[in-house]
Structure 1
Amino acid sequence: MKNIAIIFSVLCMQLWNAQNVYLTKVEKTNDNTDKFFYKKEETIADAVYLGEVEVQGFSKDDALTFSLVYKKAKEIGANTFQLKPFENVDGTPQAFNASNYKVALYYTPKEKLSVQHGEMYIFASSEKDQKISINRKDYIISPRSFLKLKVIPGEIYTVSTKKLLGSTVKIQPKATDDNVYFQISSLKVKPDNLGVGGLNLKSGDIIGLEKSYAEFLSVIYKESKP
């Protein structure tokens, strides 16, 4: 009975983490070699709607989810995206559900994309609250959420995880710099694979994120007000 319970538990975990990404609608295709995949701004009027991707099932591996969405988007030449909420019977948008959502895909000419600057995004990636310090001011970021802070060009910003063996980074943005994106990883303890015994401890790392992935996280995570 104990073995059956364990097997059932494993199967439930697999079903919980099962995820599929489908290209559910194709209106047009666009032939381009753009590698980026940015969030579409509401004010952009020249974006061409190409189709939709639907994500079914929840996964903790957001990087994998993004790569699957990105691959589907590039099949039809999309370089920008926008979250498309499901609607209630009365036409109002439903609250975001990380287990099932749609992403509208667009092609936007490069010259219509404006540089986004003056902000710093910090994403939490663990299942627990993350405590960080920015210029000696403490913040707590809940799981699957992010902070968005205004930055002043020329000013130095020190971001620290305030943990044993944690990371600290310093940035000094210029007026023309793009937004900066970081992710705070959780505590990781794993067996040593080098044959010398013990554990490899990795705590509170601060990881720089590429803009396309960061903007994807900004639509599936919840913004935490400082």
Structure 2
Amino acid sequence: MKNLIIISCIAFFQFCNAQNVFLTKVEKTSDNKDQTLFKIQDEVKKAEYLGEIEVQGYSKDDAAVFSSVYKKAKEIGANAFSLKPFETIDGSTQPFNPSNYRLNLYFISREKLLNQTGYIYLFASSDKEQKISINKKDLILPHRSFFILKPKHEEVYVISTKKLLGSTIKLQPRSNDGNQYFQMSSTKIKSDDSGRGGLNLKSGDIIGLEKSFAEFLSIIYQEVKQSN
């Protein structure tokens, strides 16, 4: 009986922390071979509306959630998405809820996409805040947040995770560069599973992100504004 209660509690916990992705509306489909999935905003009026996805439940595994969103989008030939906020009774927009949100799906031809801004997007992890340094100026990114660095032409930017064995990158964006996307993760110390005892030290990382996944994160993460 005790084991049954424990199993039931575990199952309930997993259910509460599961995230499900549903294709809730299909207006039409598009037959194309585009493998990308872009975030669009102003381009919505030029795009062909295809359907809607709803995400229910909370998960820290953003890559797995995006994989499910991507597969659902490609079922109807979508190559673009935008956030569809929920509304309150009085018609105002509800704050974003990472446990339940909707995405509109579209097809848009590449020539209708607006030009890239050449910005640098820096994302924290899904579960821990990250202290970083940009040209020796410190910035704290809360978990599930991101910062947009708007570089000056030809200026060199040194970005570091500021941790023991942390990573450092040096960037010098050019005028014709597209956006660049990176995720920052802290140094992690965990127990050694080899049987010899001790600790394993994992270096902090700055990981380059694929554009489609990064633009999805920019929807579900909160932007951090730099204080003056």
Give the structure-1-normalised TM-score: 0.91
Contact between 2:43 and 2:112, CA under 8 Å: does it hold in 1?
A: no
More deviation, 167-176/125-134: 125-134
Partner residue of 1:223?
A: 223
The residue identity in structure 2 corresponding to 1:70 is: Y
Structure 2 spans left out of the alignment, 5+ residues: none
1:78 partnered with 2:78: yes
Query: Are residues 1:172 and 2:180 paired?
Result: no
Q: Secondary structure at the match of 1:10?
A: helix
Tell me, yes or no, if structure 1 residue 135 matches structure 2 residue 135.
yes
Give, as a single letter, the amino acid of the residue that structure 2 aligns with 1:41: Q
Alpha-carbon distance between aligned partners in 2 of 1:4 and 1:32, rounded to the nearest angstrom: 50
- C-alpha distance after superposition, 1:42-62 (max 9, x if no partner): 245320000001101111000
Q: Deviations over 1:20-60 (max 9, x none)?
A: 10100000100111111010122453200000011011110
- Asked whether the equivalents of residues 126 and 186 of structure 1 are also in contact (C-alpha less than 8 Å), the reply is no
**Where does 1:55-134 land on structure 2 (aligned, <5 Å)?**
55-134=55-134
Separation in 1, partners of 2:8, 2:143: 27
Report the AA paired with residue 182 of structure 2. Answer: F
Q: Is the 8 A contact 1:117 1:176 kept in 2?
A: no
Q: Which residue of 2 aligns with 1:184?
A: 184
Give yes or no for contact 2:52–2:105 (8 Å, CA) kept in 1: yes
- CA distance 1:28–1:162, shift in 2 (3 Å): same
Matched residue type, 2:28 = K
Q: Partners in 2 of 1:149 and 1:193 — Cα distance?
A: 39
AA partner of residue 206 (structure 2): I
State the TM-score, normalizing by the size of structure 2: 0.90
In 2, the alpha carbon distance for the partners of 1:63 and 1:29 equals 25
Q: Which amino acid aligns with 1:64?
A: A
Instruction: List alignment gaps of at least 5 residues for structure 1.
Output: none
Pairing of 1:186-205 with structure 2 (within 5 A): 186-190=186-190, 198-205=198-205
Which residue does 1:149 correspond to in 2? 149
Q: Contact 2:60/2:126 (CA < 8 Å) preserved in 1? A: no
Shift of 1:203: 3.6
Using the TM superposition, give the Cα deviation of residue 89 of structure 1 relative to its aligned residue in structure 2, in angstroms.
1.2
SS at match of 1:138: strand
Number of corresponding residues = 226
State whether residues 118 and 152 of structure 1, in contact with CA within 8 Å, keep that contact through their aligned partners in structure 2: no
Secondary structure of 1:78's aligned partner: coil
Q: Deviations over 1:169-204 (max 9, x none)?
A: 111111101111110123434555778765432142
- After superposition, the CA RMSD in angstroms is 2.2
Whole-angstrom distance in 2 between the partners of 1:194 and 1:153: 49
Kindly provide the CA deviation profile for residues 95-129 of structure 1, in whole angstroms up to 9, marking residues without a partner as x: 11111110000000111112312311111114232
**What percentage of aligned pairs have identical amino acids?**
62
